[in-house]
Amino acid sequence: NLKFLEFCILPLLTSFHLTLLQVTISLSKVELSVGESKFFTCTAIGEPESIDWYNPQGEKIISTQRIVVQKEGVRSRLTIYNANIEDAGIYRCQATDAKGQTQEATVVLEIYQKLTFREVVSPQEFKQGEDAEVVCRVSSSPAPAVSWLYHNEEVTTISDNRFAMLANNNLQILNINKSDEGIYRCEGRVEARGEIDFRDIIVIVNVPPAISMPQKSFNATAERGEEMTFSCRASGSPEPAISWFRNGKLIEENEKYILKGSNTELTVRNIINSDGGPYVCRATNKAGEDEKQAFLQVFVQPHIIQLKNETTFENGQVTLICDAEGEPIPEITWKRAVDGFTFTEGDKSPDGRIEVKGQHGSSSLHIKDVKLSDSGRYDCEAASRIGGHQKSMYLDIEYAPKFISNQTIYYSWEGNPINISCDVKSNPPASIHWRREKLVLPAKNTTNLKTYSTGRKMILEIAPTSDNDFGRYNCTATNRIGTRFQEYILALADVPSSPYGVKIIELSQTTAKVSFNKPDSHGGVPIHHYQVDVKEVASEIWKIVRSHGVQSESAISKCQPGTMNTTYEIRVGCSCKWKGQGDYSKIEISKTLPVREPSPPSIHGQPSSGKSFKLSITKQDDGGAPILEYIVKYRSKDKEDQWLEKKVQGNKDHIILEHLQWTMGYEVQITAANRLGYSEPTVYEFSMPPKPNIIKDTLFNGLGLGAVIGLGVAALLLILVVTDVSCFFIRQCGLLMCITRRMCGKKSGSSGKSKELEEGKAAYLKDGSKEPIVEMRTEDERITNHEDGSPVNEPNETTPLTEPEKLPLKEENGKEALNPETIEIKVSNDIIQSKEDDSKA
């Protein structure tokens, strides 16, 4: 009997004390707009057998697609999607324990109608001058207060009394005009709940067309194939459509009439007497129409009857004459095309060289001290009050030959042919020939001299055979204006002078980089290349290194002695392709560096495919010995993990870091090693990009929201059941073990341990976690706080243990498996149980 009391009665009394029910709901009163969604969480403290929800009608709520009840242990969540007015009322959450005792809590749900705009049209169009009513229909519960704003100012406060709000909340604008056009804001407010919403309405004011015709009267000359263009511009909103009418008939484009610019221009071609009269321009838009007429009077327009091209000489003088007829007698204007300068009767140019005189339809433009810039086109325009006529003439200016080329000295040597170019411009073209002294070239007895004519150039080819071929040559150009000549010199080329300023600008174990200044004299022949000679001090043999080009100011060449820590002599010379080697510079003495450890590698990185990052290694100073390997250490900056190490062969030019975490920052240290040692580490930091969204057309895309939620809940319940059964058989713990012990009265091995298990369960429930409490880290890594990096306590006896090789290691997103080689699961020794069968973990 005592044993029965100890194992059955006492636990029941203790259980009765601990299972006193308390029920709370996360919210007590909620206001919800029609169409919105909300959830409420009901939590029962004690040991409830069931938790149920009841609607305002007192009926037990069964999950539907719109109203869903979800149970999670001692919690139950009620979710209402797309709330409507009928959902308002008091909802009860009732918990029942094993004895049938109940406790409940309530939440009040109030549903209201948000501000709603109906049939709000934008833009709204009105005709200028009419009384406009801008429509805005807005409703809510309770009824909203509606106001109108224009330029952030309420229309009721505008001093213009044309604005008024009507009883139906529409905005009235009397005698609306174009300046009233813009964006008007219809704003609704519900003072009771501080709700506000608005709609911006574009008000467009259509303005009837207004035609602007810059010229209404036109004169034309008949029977001369002339044409006349009428211009008609129209303003209005929207942009008016323009059409032309004559004698009440619409004018369409044909051989007689040409329409351009959206019908804003009408051209009448080949004018005859019958073309005279009114032409009506009509502009139309949705706000109305307007029309105006232009009148064409066919007369004899001005016509230029004499204008011809002229030719004169440079520094001479010339008179240009333009005669015109017409009724009335036209006025004549000259225009120089090259600069657009105009001259009328009595005008003079600023320099006084150009003057215009005229009378009775004749005008003369006189130019004295003629310059080459005066040549070109001149336009003569004859104009009267009924029209105008324009023609062009050209002034040609003849001048003596002029030499263009500035090069008068050429270099060559015996056996090397050279071309001397004599480039001449003149008007008219000049005859060009070469002379030497009084002898015209090529002479009969000069076989090594030839001439070639290429347009305005005369080329003299000289193939020197002796010193007599070097000297002065004369190019003479002649036309009817005059004769000009220019002297050219053919000089004997020589080797260039020696380079100077030789210095070593870079030095390593096996390489020296040399810079120097170019020679002061190139000898008349371009330098082909520079030559750097190098030898050991004790040696007599020079090693030759040629440059790969010629710098304009300095040349750089590399020599590779090949022996470390050795003294060398270096000299620089330059070579011409035909004249050979020039003098050497002064000898520069330099000593190569001894072999040492490599310099820190230079790297740059970029994301690679997947969760990888590529580090590229640029060519570096290897210290005189080949790089054997690169030692790479890396870790995440965010979690302050232990360093991971990776070695790469020295002949590689890149390193791939794999199995990294998305959006994680990493710190990398790369050290280069040769046979003498290690370089200083190069530190490089980078951050991984966010995970790309590549999930498309998955299985769940074809399922509804309710089906997806149902599958999720079912999967969660299945995981919990499997986990609990596993814990019952392997660890003798879990919900099933607790129920078994309470029903059978089996006492746990240790009251202290039972208490810790209960505390761990409570912490697990409070935290809301559904996964085992397992710490994942790299080997020999300290367990740290992932938020601030501070150390945290090791797992204790409440930490559920699993077999490491069976644990599905995943990231936070639960989709990518972690690398089993770099990650392991560790627990501290103090959680190992005393029982043999409990210590297998």
Band of residue 555 on the pLDDT scale cut at 50, 70, 90: very low
Domain 213-299 classification at class level: mainly beta
The structure tokens listed for 587 are: 């000898």
In the CATH hierarchy, which fold is given to the domain comprising 500-588?
Answer: Immunoglobulin-like (2.60.40)
Q: Does domain 404-492 have CATH number 2.30.40.10?
A: no
361 phi/psi in degrees, rounded to 5: 80, 15
The CA distances from residue 108 to 29, 56, 57, 518, in Å, are 5, 9, 13, 95
CA distance 179 to 203: 11
Mean pLDDT throughout 470-487?
94
pLDDT digits (tens, 9 = 90+) for 711-762: 888 888 888 888 888 887 777 777 777 777 777 654 444 444 444 434 433 3
Band of residue 285 on the pLDDT scale cut at 50, 70, 90: very high
Between residues 635 and 530, the one the model is more confident about: 635
Sheet with strand 500-507: strands edge to edge = 500-507, 512-517, 554-559
Determine the longest span between alpha carbons in the chain, in angstroms.
Answer: 155
CA distance 399 to 429: 10
Band of residue 549 on the pLDDT scale cut at 50, 70, 90: low
Domain ranges of the chain: 18-112, 116-207, 213-299, 305-398, 404-492, 500-588, 603-687, 715-838
Q: Does domain 18-112 have CATH number 2.60.40.10?
A: yes
Mean pLDDT throughout 423-444?
90
Beta strand residue intervals within 688-764, DSSP E: none
pLDDT (0 to 100) of residue 745: 56
pLDDT digits (tens, 9 = 90+) for 232-251: 999 999 999 999 999 999 99
Q: Is the pLDDT of residue 574 over 60?
A: yes
CA distance 726 to 449: 110
Per-residue burial over 381-416, b = 16 or more CB atoms within 10 Å of its CB, e = otherwise: bbbbebbbbebebebebbbbbebeeeeeebbbbeee
* pLDDT above 70 as % of the chain: 81
pLDDT digits (tens, 9 = 90+) for 322-379: 999 887 889 999 999 999 999 999 999 989 999 999 888 899 999 999 999 999 999 9
Who's near 442: CB < 8 A, 6+ residues apart?
434, 449, 450, 451
pLDDT (0 to 100) of residue 802: 36
pLDDT digits (tens, 9 = 90+) for 597-652: 888 998 889 888 888 999 998 877 787 788 899 999 998 887 667 888 999 888 88
CATH number given to 116-207: 2.60.40.10
Instruction: Tell me if 449 sits within 8 A of 473, measured CB to CB.
Output: no
Instruction: Tell me if 11 sits within 8 A of 742, measured CB to CB.
Output: yes
The CA distances from residue 737 to 97, 587, 725, in Å, are 19, 95, 9
CA 35 centroid distance within chain: 40
pLDDT digits (tens, 9 = 90+) for 178-208: 999 999 999 999 988 888 999 999 999 999 9
Residue carrying the six token digits 């001692």 = 74
CATH number given to 603-687: 2.60.40.10
Q: Is the pLDDT of residue 480 over 70?
A: yes
Q: Is the pLDDT of residue 819 over 70?
A: no
In the CATH hierarchy, which fold is given to the domain comprising 305-398?
Answer: Immunoglobulin-like (2.60.40)
Mean pLDDT throughout 497-503?
79
* pLDDT above 90 as % of the chain: 41
Closest to 659 (Cα-Cα) out of 612, 692, 616: 612
Cα-Cα-Cα-Cα torsion 728, 734, 738, 739, nearest 10 degrees, comes to -70
CA distance 280 to 736: 101
Is there a common fold for 213-299 and 603-687?
yes
CA distance 641 to 638: 8
Q: Is the pLDDT of residue 790 over 80?
A: no
